Every structure is written in C-alpha cells, then in structure tokens.
Structure 1
Amino acid sequence: MRLNCYGYLYSIRGFAEQSRNFFYSLSKYIDVRMVSLIYNDQEVMPPHIFELEKKGSFEIDFNDPALCIAYGNDMQKFCGSHRIGFVVFENTRLPQDWIWQLKQLHQVWAPSRWAANVLLENGIPEAKVRIVPLGVDPHFFNSQGPHYSDFDNGRFKFLMVGKFEKRKSQMEVLEAYCTEFRPDDPVQLVLLCHNIKRLSLNDRATLNKYLEKPHPDIVIMNPFNDHEAVAPLYRSSNVLIAPSKAEGWGLPIIEAMACGVPVITTNYSGQSEYLRHDNPLIIDVNEYEDIYDETFYPEKGKFGVWAKLEVGELRKKMRWSFEHQEELKKIGSEDSLWIQQNWTWDSAAVKAVELLKKI
C-alpha cells in the first residue's frame, strides 16, 4: 500500500515533531511518500526523514490515498484519491473555515476521545471521525538514558516545558510555587519555554513580579535546538509540572512519563487519553472558563472553553510530590512502563495501518 503524507515537516513546532515521527513509523509498514506543507532553510531535517521527503517530491502519485497532519484550515493544500485529515487542537469551538474544510474530507482523525467528541459537537459527521493516538519515541525518551549533569545540586526539581502562554498555566505555577515554598527550601523550578523573550508586556510584568522579590530558586533555560536533547533534562527532574488548561496531545507530558518522571497535570483534553487515572498527582477538572489569551486567543469565548485551574489545588499537588519522594519514584516507574508498552509511535502507526487497510 502507498500513502502520500503531508505535514509541517520543516518546523520546530509540536506539529512538526508529530508529523515526522508518525510518518516515519508508518513507513515501516507501508510505502510512504512525504511532502512538507512549509519549508524552513534554518531547520535541519533528520537524514531518515529527509530521504522520505525527497522520495515524496519525485514519486508522489495523486491517485494514491493521502494523509495530512495540519491545522484544519490547511486541508485544501493536499490531494489524493482518499483524503484523510489528522487534526490536533486545544479548543472546544472550531473556526468555521476548519469545519468547512474538514467536512469535505473522506475521514478526519483525532488523537483522543476528547478530540473526537469535540469534532462531533462541531458538526463533523460521525461516519468520518476516527481515533488514532499519537505517541513517543522510546529510543530517546526512556528512563535509562543520561542525565543533565548541571542539575546535580541536591534540590527537588519541578520542571516545566512548553510555550509560555496562558493555556500552559505558567503564571499559576509561579504563584503556587512562590506561595507554597520558602526562599530557603531545597527546591528548584526550571522553566524551559522557547518564547520567553517574546512575552507580552503584561506577561513580562507578571513574571518580573515573582522574580524581583525573594523567592525559592527559579531557573529559566534557553531552548534546545535538538528536540531529543530535552530527554536528559526530564530524567534529571523529580516531577514535570504541566497543569495545562487544554492540550491537543501534550508531547512534554508523554515524553516525561516515558522517561520515568511523574507529571502534575489536569485530567482534561488530549492527555486524558493516556494518563493513568489512579495517579495522585492528577488534577481533576470540575469547572471551565472561556478561552482567552491576549496573544493567541484575543477574542474571549470565540474558541469555546478550557479547564479552570485552581492554584490551591496545584499547591497541594506540588507539596505532596515534595513530601512523598519515594512514592513519586514508584509512580514514575509505573508511568514509564505504561507508556513504553502502549503509547509509542510504532503502536500508533499500527492502529493507523489497520484503518488504512479498510479504505
């Protein structure tokens, strides 16, 4: 079987990581021709991905079925005999141009039951919707690899990875951390946020408010050029803190779990598909609020709702993790085994191939 695969291959965004890994895993089972929807001369493509992309440029056949991992309003950019759109999103109300284009596809894939329900609620016909999970690369993200030597300072480390934005809840994390712990406590909050230098004036002012007064240790790191280089950072941390208001899938969450690092996160949206729900670090979501972010979602309520995060509940989870470090290690080991056995890119590809064979 041959499949044309389209995606944002030349990018550092999560979409690119998902597309490259998913398409490469598919290529182990079927004949894949890969095409990038965007190009970036500054992005170095891994050799095995570059070969597949080069093959796609010269051997693509528009009479073959096609799969596109992209924003819903970019589905007009690919063609094939059977068109499948794979969408990842965090909002509950989809834009009209997404809905218009998704309805014209033969199938629409979503990575979680939560996302599939959102598609149905936005009018995508049930007969078109399929659930295909995303995954993680166990070769890089596992509990046995090297650690980040610069972090060997004896402090309990809370790590936060991801774009600095309201959806990721960095401000709530800063408030919870600086309120729950004293400046002399043996703790450290590490922020790895690739857009830290491009914050809005309001976000910069709020961040400075915490940094300018006495506070427990906070480290702001520059982003890594190589995505896999973050794996030693996960393994050097005691817990990943990711209390997102919404996630399409949550790559840092599943990567940290694969590395044996427990995660404080919300039991809502994309990550609810693979979380172990008996985990005491999971934050139950009971209330929702209109989506609003002055940079990314400036029209309040236009894109639906996301989880409302209570800082008090976040403080409890952070304190519990600090005071139950032996239990934390057990949770990390169980999480790693769960992800390695069930949620790799290869297991996602097997699920996808099963659906493709039914076309």
Structure 2
Amino acid sequence: MALTLPTGIVWVAPIGEITGYGNVSRNLLRSLDLLNIPVHLVPIGRHEKEIGEEDRLFLERVNKPIEAIGEKPVLIIHAQPDTFPLIHFEGISFAKKIGITIFETDRIPPAWVEWCNAMDEIWLPSQFNMETFSRSGVDRDKLKLVPYSIQSEKYNQSFRPYPFHEAVKSFKFLYTCAFVYRKGIDLLVRAFCEEFSADEDVSLVLKIYVPSWHPHVDLPSLIRSYIPDLTNHPHIELIQDKIPIDDLLSLYHSSDCYVSTDRANGWGMPCMEMMAMGKPAITINWSGSTEFMKETNSFLIEPEAELEEVDVVLQQTLPGFYQGHQWAKVTTGNVRRTLREAYEDQEKRERIAKQARLDIEQKYSARAVADIIRSILDGTALNSGTASNQPYSLAWEGPVADIHSLAKVNRNIIRYLSSHSHIELTIGAFRPPFTQGTLTADVTVSHQYPPNFTVPVSKHWIVMQPWEFGSLPTAWYAPMKYWVDQVWVYSNYNKECYVRSGLDEHKIKVIPLGVDEHIFHPEVEPLALDVPAGFRFLFVGGTIWRKGVDLLIQAYTEEFRQDEDVSLIVKDFGTQSFYKGATSTAFLTAAAEAANSPHIVYMEQEYTEREMASLYKACDCLVHAYRGEGFGLPIIEAMACGIPVILPDKGPSADFCSADTAYLVDSTEVATIQPAIGSVPILSDVWWINTDLGALRRAMRYAFENRDEIKATGERASRKILNEYTWRHTADKAREAIEQLIHAHDPKT
C-alpha cells in the first residue's frame, strides 16, 4: 500500500561546496523543492563563494526552520557513509533514515557495508552502483535507484565567450576535474599528444583543481611528464584557478567536445552538463556514467575486456578505500581513435549532441527526478529487487504517427519506456490483425480503436482501452474477461464502466494520461489571434455530441450579450479525419455568424502541440461540458499552462480536479436502456453525464467577473498537473503494471 509523503526532510550535505557532492546535492534539492516538502538544511563541509549567487539564494529560500518539518520527517544524509553514524538529532524521531552516496570502482570500501546497512535506504544514481553495493554486501532491498538531476534550462541559453589565451586553437577538447589519479589525466594527455600533431588546429583544455589532500602536487610539471615528446606536441591549455560558476558555463559553451578519461566514474556531472548544452561528450564505456551516456548520445571509449588493479599510488595512500579494487583497463590506442573520430566527424558530433540534450532534458531534469523521488518517498516505487530490474521484451501495438489522441498516448508512453535499458521494446504501428508466429514477446500491450482481439503470441496480454458510455460493447466482454491479463483504462470513471459491466476490478488498472511538461507550462508565449483582446473562453476537442459543445454554445449565448467584452473560441478536431462527418461544423459556423449573439470564433485548422500550448495561453478559461469522456487531454494541457477550467463535477476529471484547482459544475448521471451506441451493440444500459445548464452559465459568468481569482486557480492547477500528470508519470505507472504482472507470474515468486 502506498504511504504518504513525509511531513518534512532534514537534509545533511556539503551544500555549499563546489565539489561533486555539493553540486549534486543542490540539484537534488531542486527536485525536492518541486514536491513542496519542507526541508531543513544542515550544511557540512565548506561554504565556497564560487557556487554563485543563484545557488546561494536558492539555498536560503528552501531552508525551513527545524520546527517546520512536522511530526513524520525523514533524515537524508548526502555524504560518504562514514558520515552516517555521526549525525544525531536530539528530540526528533525520524520516520526513515536515508543515505545518498556513490563509489567508482568495482566494489565499495569494506567499512561502508555496515554503515549503509544501518540506514533504512541507500539512494544510488546508477545501475552500476546498484550492483557494486549489492555485491559488496549491502542489503539489496535497501538500495533505491535515484539518478542525479540537473537544471537543464540553466544550460540551454546563450553564454559569453570564454577568454582563452591566444595560443588556444579553434577546436577545443575540454576536461574538468579534481586532480585524483583515477581521473586518467595521464591517459588523456598521452593519447592526445600521440594522436595529434602540433600543426593541427586542436587544443586540449584541462581545467583541474588540486584538492586539499594533494597540497604539494606540482601540476604543470606532472602534466609535462605525461607528454611523450616535449619538443613537438599539440597545444595543451591548463587552467588551475577556481572560477565562478558563470565562468565555468562560459568555458563549457566555448569548447567543442568534452572528454573524460576517468577510469572509474561515479557519475560524470561535467559530461552531463555539457550534454545539456547540446555539446558532444566522450567517456569510457564503464562505471557510473553509462547510466546516461549511450552509443546514441555520446562517443564511447571501449575498455579492455578485463579490469585492472587500481593505481598503486591510490592503494598505498588510501588503502581503506582502494586496497584490492579494480577499474577499467583502457589503452591509449582506444582513446586516440575516439578523439580522432570526434574531431573529424562533424555530422556525428552534431547528431549525438542533439540527442544528448534531448535525453538529459527528458530523463534527468529536476522535475523528472522529482517524480522518481516522490515514488520512493510515498512508497509507490517498485522494490529494486523485484522484476523491475529483470530484462523483458515488450511489444506495443497501436497507431503512433497519427494526430489523434490514441497515437499521442502511444508515442509518449513508448518514448519513456524505451529509455529503460531492461526493456526490449518493439514498436508496432496500426496494422491488420497479426497472425500466429509474426510476433513473440514477454508482454504485448494493444492500444488502438477498434481493439484487436486476435490473441498475440506473447506470455502476457494487456489491452489499453477507454470507454465513455456506460456498458461495454458486447464484443469486448468475453475477450477482456477471459483472454486478456490486464485491462488498462485512463480514469476511475472508465474503471467503473468496466466493473459495472461485469469485469473483475483487480484486472483493471488505471493508467492516467499526461502532458509534455516541456511544451505545456505557464511560461508559454500566447498565440497571436485575430480575436478581440477581452476575456476569452476556449473549447478544444472534436465537436461531437458526447463532448457537449452544443450545451456550451447554449450556455454562452444565453448568459452573455453581444456588447460584452467576451469571446468563445471553439477549436475543433478531426473534421477531415477520425470525426469526419460527425462534427458540428455547420451548427458552429451558424452560431458564429448569428446576429445579436456574443462573439464566437470557430477554428478547424490543425495546430502543432506547441501551437496548441500557445492557444491555451492566449485564452483565459477552458470550458468542457462533456457528456462522455475517457480522460480529457485538453483539460490537463490547459491546466498545465496555468489556464483555469470549468468542468462537470463527475466523470474522469474528478481524478485530477478539485474545488481548489478547477470550477466544478453540478451534473447528474443519466441512464437509458438501448441496444447499441450507433452501430456498436452494448451489454445493457448506457449512461452519460448531464451538466446543469444554469450552473454552467453561473460558472462562466463567475469566471468572467473574477479574473484575478481564476488566475490563481489556474496557477494551482498548473502545479498539480506538472507535479503529478506528466507523460513520465504515465509511463512509470504503465511500467509498474507490466512488471507487477510479470512478477506475479514468475515461477520463482
């Protein structure tokens, strides 16, 4: 059973440092900030001015007094595990104690095992660390996968050029790191000098700082010792000074390709930052960075098949950490080949850089990681030891290229499921029924209309199918009751239709739909419309009877006068495709042209998703008096953009709307006995939602006259949708349902 979110969090971490731990900690706090959980900060370590004013002000804003964390707080310590037993708070009873940490080699220090097992949970950023910690003796059930987040929008802007010395060449490889032996600076310098000549237009820029535990390192001399021929080598630029964050971002942006030769990488935040900028990055294909760096978005240096002992200097100076450990064995030849390819193949650089930016924005933004943290804190995440880590094949059948909502749902769920390396995904398109032997998969999900009840060749079969009008079609009943393993619906209202039709409620899973938060959000620029600039109501959807557009027109024309500063925009869908011949085009055109009626604009042109977001933003209130609806994507898209909505108080929107986030209008359920919906025979009675006309008029008048209040309602609605109803939420619920189905039928369980 899902738990509730904690009342507050005490966060112990080096939040003021420019180290990796400090940078990661501030980014994770930004994800927590989106969950609206009070956080009390306990800094450890130094406070360094180089973190920048923006981060300093952010930390001040999120830091709440200890009294604000409530009665059921969680303690989170982000540090090396030797810190865990040192943190105590008198008088506070924590609901849970969580450690966040990382390690780079093939195992963890032996002393860490006991400290980690003493915590309730350990959050790790990569599958690599999930394996190394578990293999070293940490209880697998305590391990939770929480990837590092990034302020992706921070890197997607213009930056001033970095003031390089004149000797720096046009093409610049960049490596930024602390001076630690595992960072492979020796490997990179040797490979660069062996591969490139002094007369090639390329430089290697090394931004390296020497940590306090290496105070006597003469870095320039050490780097010179790595150069094979001091009389003739390509240009190397060394930057040793600490620089403010703005200068570091300028350095990133002014470089052409990031390269990391870290033999054992905990994560690789600089790689991630450069990728978020749309810059190509190189890394060794081993350890933590492989969580987000793949062949499709990075240049990968292949290591040798066998590992090698950690550098002898590290083993001697830090035996408690590294004695007996191993890391990637990498030859200079493999580094040379990858550097040369990155330098010469401009087309590949541009292609992987574009994909890199997209991947980082979609999978590792503050909001994306906030979703993961929420699922762990409220108990809805699958345990790391269940089938969620086991590979399986998934066939997804249904339209993907069309403009209607079914295809939109398929595209977005597929997009996120395909990011999971343990899912082997076959993407199907709308097609005739397949026959025995054409498809083999562990799980088949079919989402199309009409549904295809030809039994697929797979171990498990899921049908995703909304239904808006009470009793199910007769032809659906037997396959769904006896053949299908799970039925997915969009809302609890949909689920009720299935249960009242006689299906087992345990077979039916609610998979709510979502929005693309990068498109639908409050900062969208409004669309320029040839419509008076007064108050604008909006309807979006196919103008068919079940959408209730006739009721909306009646309420609007009876409530408002022609001389009032108000417009109703009706954005129709599918007039030339899936709703062709069924829409109210003639009725709406006549209404728009009627004398003495308030202003009506009828639109049937097709818009892109971004244009639709701008259309929502150009209006003041969305009204949807539906009679039957599976979910209502336009409703949550408008809400995500900060636009208030007027809706019936029944139906699917009850799942995501309340009096705090929407204007809910009195409605009743109307039922009739009839043999069919159109040409589709049904089991028994039909029911739909009838919105009270007077209540709808009053709600529209209230919105028109209380613009400041409804704007605040729209802002609350946006936070609700963006925090709980994105496509990542949808895909995660779909994945959990699939993996619970697999796990339930696993003979080992």
- Both proteins in one fold, TM over 0.5: yes
Q: Does 1:239 align with 2:618?
A: no
Q: Could you tell me how far 1:77 is from its partner in structure 2?
A: 6.8
Shift of 1:73: 3.6
State the match for 1:87 in structure 2.
465
* Pair 1:336-2:714 in alignment: no
Q: Which of these residues, 547, 562, 565, is aligned with residue 168 of structure 1? A: 547
Q: 2:403 aligns with which of 2, 9, 12?
A: 12
Alignment pair present for 1:102 and 2:484: no
Query: Counterpart of 1:267?
Result: 649
Q: Distance in 2 between matches of 1:339 and 1:247?
A: 18
The one of 418, 423, 437 equivalent to 1:27 is: 418
Unaligned runs of 5+ in 1: 40-59
Within 1, Cα distance between the matches of 2:681 and 2:497? Answer: 19
What does the per-residue CA deviation read over 1:5-28, in whole Å, with 9 as the maximum and x for residues that have no partner? 111223222111111112212222
Distance 1:291 1:33, change over 3 A: farther
From the superposition, tell whether residues 75 and 140 of structure 1 become closer, same or farther in structure 2 (CA, over 3 Å).
Answer: farther
Q: For the structure 1 residues 200 and 62, does the alpha-carbon distance in structure 2 shift closer, same or farther, using more than 3 Å as the test?
A: closer
After TM superposition, give the deviation of residue 150 of structure 1 in Å: 2.1
Task: Report SS of the residue matched to 1:159.
Answer: strand
Number of the residue aligned with 1:54: none
Distance, in Å, in 2 between the alignment partners of 1:196 and 1:33 is 32
Deviation, 1:203, is 7.4
Q: Which residue of 2 aligns with 1:49?
A: none
Q: TM-score if structure 1 supplies the norm length?
A: 0.85
Aligned equivalent of 1:255: 637
Identity %: 28
Q: State the Cα distance separating 1:175 from its structure 2 match.
A: 1.2
One-letter amino acid matched to 1:304 = V
1:44 alignment partner in structure 2: none
Q: Residue in 1 aligned with 2:738?
A: 356
Structure 1 pair 316–337 and aligned structure 2 pair: CA distance change class (3 A) = same
Q: 1:291–1:297: 8 Å Cα contact kept in structure 2?
A: no
Per the alignment, in what secondary structure is the counterpart of residue 452 of structure 2? Answer: helix
Matches of 1:298 and 1:141, distance apart in 2: 37
Whether the 8 Å contact between 1:174 and 1:210 is mirrored in structure 2 is no
Residues 205, 84 of structure 1: alpha-carbon distance in 2 compared, 3 angstrom cutoff = closer
3-state secondary structure, aligned to 1:160? strand
Report whether the alignment pairs 1:221 with 2:603. Answer: yes
Q: Please, which runs of 5 or more residues in structure 2 have no aligned partner? A: 1-390, 433-437, 743-749
1:139 partner SS: coil
Residue 281 of structure 1 deviates from its aligned partner by: 1.2
Q: Does the 8 A contact of 1:187 with 1:217 survive in 2?
A: yes
What does 1:66-81 correspond to in 2, within 5 Å? Answer: 66-71=444-449, 73-76=451-454, 78-81=456-459
The 8 Å contact of residues 395 and 443 in structure 2, kept in 1 or not, is answered as yes
Q: How do residues 134-149 of structure 1 correspond to structure 2 at under 5 angstroms?
A: 134-149=513-528
Structure 2: distance between partners of 1:341 and 1:201:
34
Contact in 2 for aligned 1:90/1:269 (Cα 8 Å) = no
Change (3 A) 1:290 1:209: farther
> Does residue 1:211 correspond to 2:593, yes or no?
yes
Equivalent residue number for residue 288 of structure 1: 670
1:235 and 1:203, CA in 2 relative to 1: closer, same or farther beyond 3 A? Answer: closer
Residue 71 of structure 1: how far off its partner (Å): 3.5
Residue identity opposite 1:168 in structure 2: K
Which residues in structure 2 correspond to 1:182-221 (within 5 Å)? Answer: 182-195=561-574, 204=586, 208=590, 211-221=593-603
Q: Is the 8 A contact 1:247 1:270 kept in 2?
A: yes
Distance between the aligned counterparts of 1:202 and 1:257, measured in 2? 25
Distance 1:202 1:331 in 2: 31
Cα distance change of structure 1 residues 77 and 325 upon mapping to structure 2, 3 Å threshold: farther
Gap change, CA 1:173 and 1:148, over 3 Å in 2: same
Cα deviation, 1:165-210, whole Å, max 9, x if unaligned, reads: 1111111111111111111100011011135585569873576256
Summarize the Cα distance change of 1:163–1:100 in structure 2 as closer, same or farther, 3 Å threshold: same
Residues 291 and 300 in structure 1, CA contact (< 8 A), matched pair in contact too: no
Is residue 692 of structure 2 the alignment partner of residue 313 of structure 1? no
Q: Choose 20-29 or 80-89, whichever is displaced more.
A: 20-29
Bigger radius of gyration: 2
* Counterparts in 2 of 1:273 and 1:138: CA distance versus 1, 3 Å: same
User: Which structure exhibits the higher relative contact order, with contacts defined as CA atoms closer than 8 Å and separated by 6 or more residues?
Assistant: 1
Most deviating of 217-226 and 339-348: 217-226
Alignment CA distance shift 1:279-1:257 (3 Å): closer
Residue deviations 1:329-359 (CA, integer Å, cap 9, x gap): 1000000000000011101211222222221
> 1:63: how far off?
3.4
Cα distance change on mapping 1:68 and 1:80 into 2, 3 Å: same
1:304 aligned residue: 686
Once the two structures are TM-superposed, the CA of residue 78 in structure 1 deviates from its matched residue by 4.2
- Supply the distance in 1 between the matched residues of 2:609 and 2:457 (Cα, whole angstroms): 30
Matched position secondary structure for 2:479: helix
Distance 1:6 1:200 in 2: 27
CA contact (8 A) 1:72 1:99 kept: no
Letter of the 1:3 counterpart: L
Query: CA-atom RMSD, angstroms?
Result: 2.7
Alpha carbons 1:73, 1:97 under 8 Å: kept:
no
CA deviations 1:82-116 (Å, max 9, x no partner) are 10111112111111111122221111111222212
